[in-house]
Amino acid sequence: MTFLVEHGPAIAIAIPFLAAFTVPLVAKLGGRVRDGCVVLSLALTEFVVLMLAGDVLANGVRTYALGASVPSLTAPAGFPVRIILEVDAMSALISLVAMTIAFLASLFSLKLIPAKEGLGKFFALFLLLSAGMMGMCYTGDFFTLFVFFEIVSISSAGMISFFRSGESFEAAFKYMVISVTAGLFLLFGVGILYGNYGMLNMAAIAGEVAAGHSLLDVAAISLIASALLFKSGSFPVHMWKPDVFQEAPANVVVMILTSSLVGLYVLFRILFTVFGTVSTAVAGWLIVALGAVSIIVGVLMAMPQRNLRRMIGFVAIAEIGYVMLGVGTGLVSMQPVNAFGVNALSGGLFHIVNDALNMSLIFLAACAVAYITERRDLSGVGGLAHRSAPLAVFFLIGLLAISGIPPMNGFASKLMIFESVFFLNPLLSVIGITGSILMLAVFVKVFVALFLGTPYEGKLRKTPKTMLIPMFVLSVLIILLGLFAPFAVDTLITPAAQALLDPQAYIGGVI
């Protein structure tokens, strides 16, 4: 056990990587062996991530120098050498969310995709994407961040085009152009930082930045922040999101949604921890403004959509906006730190967790409906609640949680955001609440059309257990997080917010 925790950061990245390259070979032995291998490897990773999170919450930051004789030997000569992985409360929280969603999505995908030749390779990409997300969560090094960023882009694009229709290639190409541009911006920013400080380690650079910064840092931070905003699909570059949501397989969409949240996490890590002294109120206001516009654009564009998947894609843009609204408010009120800023930051971080759970649940429920009716276009479908009650319940839980109705988790985090953003500017709360209400309107319309009315008459497939279990787990998590929100905030979210607000702990882990 201590071995697992001590080497946890490396193991959590290594397991999905190794599995990604063994699965195509194992797939020759048959479908069951292949599925077992995928689910088992992700379950193992989830276990390691859980152990690591428990350890980090109890004992503080854990660093891991790859290839050192002792894993904690990060700076043998006084300055950091080797690739360093660093896990604190914040990255532990995000990796826990990412891995949980990856595990549930892998379960969901077992029956979803009709058995085809290339399923082994598909799961290889799926595991690569999981490994890339783990790497983005744990890396303490800018260049490794770039590499994992590109791994996430390439494996996602490969899976988006899985159905090989013209539209899916179009979505994949669009995603790829934006991701590659983002990746190059990131590399440019990292290059500037390297030229300025001669180091690539985040903690070490944070230490140097705290001592004094120049205009070059501002250029680097702008490039890196824009790259990560491209990836997370906030307002100015949101157009890839609805296309991807419309065309990619359901499990891939859920993973891409999570990877965009991981991108946001890296952005916050860089803005708070590395450039805590440079990113002043201006950066915070920029994040807040982009978040507010994302909410407006996402919700307004979701309303006229006829395609359900596309509509959920636009709502996902708005949900990213709430996270940015909360965390941006935290950034504005960082110097000096005040109570509502901390509350907004915690709300934003809590909303990252809730966004991943809620959006995944509603999207998986929508795709399960498409699966049992065997139709891609759901326009003529109605009255499904009579025939498939569990799906109706899951969809209802998802829509209540997304629109922030108590007692779901979405209410808890959105209330935290609204009540603290109000102190920054009351208008922002108004935008947020209006967006929330409009989301409810959008989804209730869909719910009525899909599930209520005269019973559905066409042929229905049975919902496989591998689809029901992930949706059930997500619903339970949503309700538990909603009912015990104060407990969740105290144990998970507040340590994460403190980790962002206090960069010294992160820096001290390395030097």
Q: Is 176 in the site for another protein (CB under 8 A)?
A: yes
Coil, helix or strand at residue 439: helix
Q: Is 167 in the site for another protein (CB under 8 A)?
A: yes
One of 180, 237, 296, 393 touching another protein (CB under 8 A):
180
Nearer to another protein, 194 or 423 (CB): 194
One of 4, 118, 170, 219 touching another protein (CB under 8 A):
170
Q: Is 208 in the site for another protein (CB under 8 A)?
A: no
- d(CA 511, CA 493) in angstroms, rounded, equals 26
One of 163, 194, 472, 484 touching another protein (CB under 8 A):
194
One of 14, 68, 75, 147 touching another protein (CB under 8 A):
147
Q: Is 173 in the site for another protein (CB under 8 A)?
A: yes
Nearer to another protein, 24 or 383 (CB): 24
One of 33, 40, 177, 337 touching another protein (CB under 8 A):
177
**Cα dihedral across residues 161, 164, 170, 173: positive or negative:** positive
Decide if 109 contacts 249 (C-beta within 8 A).
yes
Coil, helix or strand at residue 460: coil
Whole-number Cα distances in Å, 511 to 6, 75, 370, 507:
18, 6, 53, 6
Q: Is 373 in the site for another protein (CB under 8 A)?
A: no
- The secondary structure element, H or E, covering residue 285 is helix 281-302
One of 183, 341, 410, 482 touching another protein (CB under 8 A):
183
Among the listed ranges 12-20, 95-103, 172-180, 251-259, the one in contact with another protein (CB under 8 A) is 172-180
Q: Is 200 in the site for another protein (CB under 8 A)?
A: yes
Instruction: Compute the least distance from the CB of residue 257 to another protein, in Å.
Output: 18
Which of the residues 218 through 257 are near another protein (CB under 8 A)?
A: 242-243, 246-247
A 10 A CB-CB count for 32 gives 9
Q: Is 205 in the site for another protein (CB under 8 A)?
A: no
Residue 5 corresponds to which tokens in the numbers above?
Answer: 């925790």
Q: Where are the beta strands (DSSP E) in 6-156?
A: 62-65, 84-87
Which of 399, 406, 405, 272 lies closest to 341 in space, CA to CA?
A: 272
Q: Give the x/- contact pattern for another protein in 7-46, rule: CB under 8 A.
A: ----------------------------------------
Which of 161, 80, 67 lies closest to 122 in space, CA to CA?
A: 161
Instruction: Compute the least distance from the CB of residue 448 to another protein, in Å.
Output: 23
Q: Is 486 in the site for another protein (CB under 8 A)?
A: no
Q: Is 83 in the site for another protein (CB under 8 A)?
A: no
Q: Is 195 in the site for another protein (CB under 8 A)?
A: yes
With tokens 């290839």, the residue in question is 67
Nearer to another protein, 153 or 360 (CB): 153
Decide if 98 contacts 264 (C-beta within 8 A).
no
Nearer to another protein, 151 or 287 (CB): 151
Decide if 29 contacts 72 (C-beta within 8 A).
no
- d(CA 34, CA 40) in angstroms, rounded, equals 10
Nearer to another protein, 194 or 340 (CB): 194
Q: Is 259 in the site for another protein (CB under 8 A)?
A: no
One of 36, 40, 165, 303 touching another protein (CB under 8 A):
165
- d(CA 353, CA 289) in angstroms, rounded, equals 22
- d(CA 3, CA 25) in angstroms, rounded, equals 29
Counting every residue written for the chain, the total comes to: 511
Total of chain residues touching another protein, rule CB under 8 A: 39
Q: What does DSSP assign to residue 29?
A: G
Decide if 431 contacts 295 (C-beta within 8 A).
yes
Residue 110 corresponds to which tokens in the numbers above?
Answer: 């077992």
Which of the residues 286 through 305 are near another protein (CB under 8 A)?
A: 301, 305
Residue 120 corresponds to which tokens in the numbers above?
Answer: 């082994």
Instruction: Compute the least distance from the CB of residue 175 to another protein, in Å.
Output: 10
Nearer to another protein, 104 or 182 (CB): 182
Coil, helix or strand at residue 243: helix
233 sits in the region (left: phi over 0; alpha: psi -120 to 50; else beta) called left
Task: Catalog residues that contact another protein under the rule CB under 8 A.
Answer: 143, 146-147, 150, 153-154, 157-158, 161, 164-167, 169-174, 176-177, 180-181, 183-184, 187-188, 190-191, 194-195, 200, 242-243, 246-247, 301, 305, 310
